[in-house]
Amino acid sequence: MQTISIAIHGGAGTLVKGMMTPALEKEYKTALQNALDAGYVLLKNGGTSVDAVAKAVCVLEDSHLFNAGKGAVFTAEETHEMDACIMEGNTRNAGAVSLISGIKNPIKLAKDVMEKSEHVFLAGKGAMEFAKTQGYSLKDASYFYDEFRHKQWLEIKDTDSFQLDHASKKDSKFGTVGAVACDSFGNVAAATSTGGMTNKRFGRVGDSPMVGAGNYANNKTCAISCTGSGEFFIRGVVAYDVSCLMEFKGMSLNEASEEVINKRILEINGDGGLVAVDANGNIAMPFNTEGMYRACKNSKGLEEVLIYK
Ligand code: ASP
C-alpha cells in the first residue's frame, strides 16, 4: 500500500538555543503543527500532493513567524519582495514567481502560473500583471509589517550589507518556508516561498523560486524544498543535485540529501538544509545549521515537530 507523507520547514535560520523561550518554542511548534495537519488531512482524504504542499505553505505564509508571505523581510527600499515556486513530480510541471509585492499567498500565484499560464516563471511587474488577470487583490504594507523584522532592517539599512535570516552571528529568527509531499497515487510535489534576505536590493533573487536550486520534484526520484543562503544553493543546484544523485548514482533519498547538505554544499561554504520525500513516502530533513524549523508525518504513524538537532 502506498505510504502518504508530508514534510515541511520554516527555515534553517532558527533562534540560537539560548534565546529560545519555552513560550516562543511553543508558538513555532504550533505554527508548524498547523501547517503539517492542514497538508496531511488533504493527503489523507485522497487529495493530491500539489494541493497538500500548497496548503501547508499557505498556512506558513499566513504566520508572522516565518520569512514568507505575512512574515517577509524588508528590502533596502523598506518594501517586501517575495518569491515562490511549486512543482509536481508526475508531469514535472512547475510555476514560479519572483519579486512580487502585496500578494498574501505567493505560493498560490506560483500555482496559478503553473496551472493557468503557458509559462513557468514570471517576475516583477509582469507577475503582478498576471496576478491582476487572475483576480488577486493586494494587501497593503501594514499587513506585512512586523516590528522585529523592521528592527532587523533598521540595523543594516543604508549599508551595503544584506542579511540572511540564517546569519550565524545574528539572532536568526525567520526563515523561508517549504513543503514536500507524496500522495496516495505515489505522486510527489514541492513548494517553497520566501521574502528573501533583509536589505536585499538590485532585484536580488535567491534559490527559492528557481526550479532545481531551491525547489524540485520528479516522481522518479524525489521532491525537495530548500532553505539556506540562496547564493550557494543556486551555485550548488542543490535540489536537482539530490535528485541526480538518486537517479544516476542509485543513492537512497537519505544518502543523497545527506551527501548534498553535509558535504557538497559545505565545500562551497553553503549553510542551510532541506526537506525531501520520495515516491515511496520516505522522508529526509537534513541541515548543517544549528537548527531548522521542521515537521513531518506519514501514514505509518511517524509524526515529528522539531527545531534543533
Ligand atoms: N533561501 C532563501 C533565499 O536565499 C533564504 C531562506 O532560506 O531563508 O532567498
Is 176 marked active-site?
yes
Q: How many domains does the chain have?
A: 1
Angle at 185 between CA 182 and CA 187, to 5 degrees: 45
CATH number of 77's domain: 3.60.20.30
Q: What percent of the chain has pLDDT over 70?
A: 95
Q: Distance, CA 197 to ligand 1 centroid (Å)?
A: 7
Q: Which atom of ligand 1 is nearest to the CA of 233?
A: 1
For 221, the domain range is 5-308
Q: Are 170 and 161 in contact (CB under 8 A)?
A: no
H-only helix segments in the chain: 22-44, 49-61, 106-116, 124-133, 141-144, 147-156, 230-235, 238-249, 253-259
**Ligand 1 pocket member 228 (CB < 6 A):** yes
pLDDT of residue 169: 46
**Ligand 1 pocket member 5 (CB < 6 A):** no
pLDDT digits (tens, 9 = 90+) for 9-58: 999 977 777 778 899 899 999 999 999 999 999 999 999 999 999 999 99
Q: Interhelix angle for 124-133 vs 106-116, to 10°?
A: 80
Cell numbers representing residue 101 in the block = 509585492
Q: Distance, CA 13 to ligand 1 centroid (Å)?
A: 9
Q: Are 16 and 307 in contact (CB under 8 A)?
A: no
| Nearest CA-CA partner of 46 in 78, 14, 4 | 4
pLDDT at 225 exceeding the cut of 90: yes
pLDDT of residue 163: 62
Residue nearest ligand 1's atom 7 by CA: 227
Say which of 176, 194, 221, 227 is annotated catalytic: 176
Q: Distance, CA 165 to ligand 1 centroid (Å)?
A: 8
Helix (H, G, I), strand (E, B) or coil at 182: strand
pLDDT at 265 exceeding the cut of 60: yes
pLDDT digits (tens, 9 = 90+) for 60-71: 999 999 999 998
Q: Distance, CA 176 to ligand 1 centroid (Å)?
A: 6
Question: Which residue type, as a one-letter code, is found at position 290?
Answer: E
**Ligand 1 pocket member 176 (CB < 6 A):** yes
pLDDT digits (tens, 9 = 90+) for 157-178: 777 666 655 444 444 444 899 9
180's enclosing H/E stretch is strand 177-182
| pTM for the whole structure | 0.94
226 backbone dihedrals φ, ψ, rounded to 5°: -105, 160
pLDDT digits (tens, 9 = 90+) for 101-132: 999 999 999 999 999 999 999 999 999 999 99
